[in-house]
Amino acid sequence: MINENIDLKGRNFLKLQDFSSEEIRYLLDLSHYLKKAKYEKTEVRHLEKKNIALIFEKASTRTRCAFEIGAADQGANTTYLGPTGSHLGKKETVRDTARVLGAMYDGIEYRGFGQKIVEELGKYSGVPVWNGLTDEFHPTQILADFLTVEEQFGKLSGIKFVFIGDGRGNMANSLLIGAAKMGLDFRLICPNELRPKNTLIKLTEKLAKQSGAKIQITDNVNKGAKGAEVIYTDVWVSMGEDESVWQSRVDLLKPFQVNTKVMKLASKKAIFMHCLPAFHNCETIVGKKIKETFKLNSMEVTEEVFESSQSIVFEQAENRVHTIKAVMVATLGD
């Protein structure tokens, strides 16, 4: 049941800590509802005649497509502004861009660098702004991840959810907040050198007290992964990071690769998740380079795990559409 007392109209969606657990629950319920309606071909359009700007200062496959499909399904028009070709950040300030786009568009998505940029767009545009990934947070991804977990296990609360890898990246940060808000049994497994910022850990602990979530941060893979129902990882080097960090990241994160040994530590019914794109073989340009430079056939996850029946990554990717659509409908829909 969708809680009709919740109204997110006109709100930005910049980071999960801006939303109560009831509001996140609402967005997940709306996502389930919209997914079912799309499958049953009963979808009602709530974004007709709306114009949406999609700013991508970094590359994207899933997020861009999810915004474009979500908007099209709901009757809205989109304009894509890619990493080149607009004045943003070069000849025009973020604040000016916000006011220009806000005057023309009904909603703005931003993917790029600092969280400060998306916060500023949200502050000055006067229309809902949605975070499509920043260096610090990737909140729409978490909605898709949680929708997927609910489809698999019928619940979120108490789920033994492991994130293993870079503990300071946008995925670890956002999962920590999401898990703490929604009452998960969350284990972050990362090297001590890559632990999240203390301010974020403190915030997570405070949120966990309110929701009953359990949060553990450990560098012990055996301890953290034992009995897990979800094993989740992300790339070792994120978009926008300097190439020079590769060597140290490989050195630090090699023992944290998701392989069959890690999956065996988890519950028999455990699923493997990844926000994607993933380096699970050497078939891409970057994959080839990694093989030549570091003599690795895969990085954060092995081909065996990625292609196994436990891997749910493509269902997870599809859920980006339903959850991003829910965010747009909730904040901008009629």
Q: How far is the CB of 268 from ligand CP (least distance, A)?
A: 27
**Partners of 189 in the β-ladder:** 164, 218
Q: What contacts 299, CB < 8 A, 6 or more positions away?
A: 235, 236, 250, 253, 257, 279, 280, 290
Cβ closer to ligand CP: 26 or 56? Answer: 56
Q: Which of 185, 178, 195 is nearest to 224 (CA)?
A: 185
The one among 21, 63, 170, 331 contacting ligand CP by CB under 6 A: 63
**Choices 13-21, 69-77, 163-171, 209-217 (CB under 6 A): range interacting with ligand NVA:** 163-171
Kindly state the DSSP code that residue 283 receives in the 8-state scheme: -
Q: How far is the CB of 239 from ligand CP (least distance, A)?
A: 7
Q: How far is the CB of 276 from ligand CP (least distance, A)?
A: 5
Choose the contact partner of 61 out of ligand NVA, ligand CP, none; CB within 5 to 8 A by kind: ligand CP
Residue 179's φ and ψ, nearest 5 degrees, are -65, -40
Choose the contact partner of 69 out of ligand CP, ligand NVA, none; CB within 5 to 8 A by kind: none
Joined tokens for residue 318: 């599809």
Q: How far is the CB of 299 from ligand NVA (least distance, A)?
A: 12
The one among 171, 258, 263, 324 contacting ligand NVA by CB under 6 A: 171
Q: How many binding residues for ligand CP (CB under 6 A)?
A: 8
Choose the contact partner of 162 out of ligand CP, ligand NVA, none; CB within 5 to 8 A by kind: none
Within 171-190, the residues that bind ligand CP by CB under 6 A are: none
The one among 70, 169, 224, 287 contacting ligand NVA by CB under 6 A: 169
Alpha helices in the chain (DSSP H): 21-39, 62-73, 94-104, 115-124, 139-153, 170-182, 198-211, 221-225, 246-253, 260-265, 285-294, 303-306, 313-332
Neighbours of 3 (CB within 10 A): 12
Q: Is the dihedral of CA 277, 219, 191, 114 positive or negative?
A: positive
Q: How many binding residues for ligand NVA (CB under 6 A)?
A: 10
Tell whether residue 316 is a contact of ligand CP (CB under 6 A). Answer: no
The one among 275, 282, 326, 329 contacting ligand CP by CB under 6 A: 275
Query: Reduced to 3 DSSP states, what percent helix, strand and coil does the chain have, rounded to the nearest 5?
Result: 50, 15, 40
Can you give the binding site for ligand CP, defined by CB under 6 A? 60-63, 133, 141, 275-276
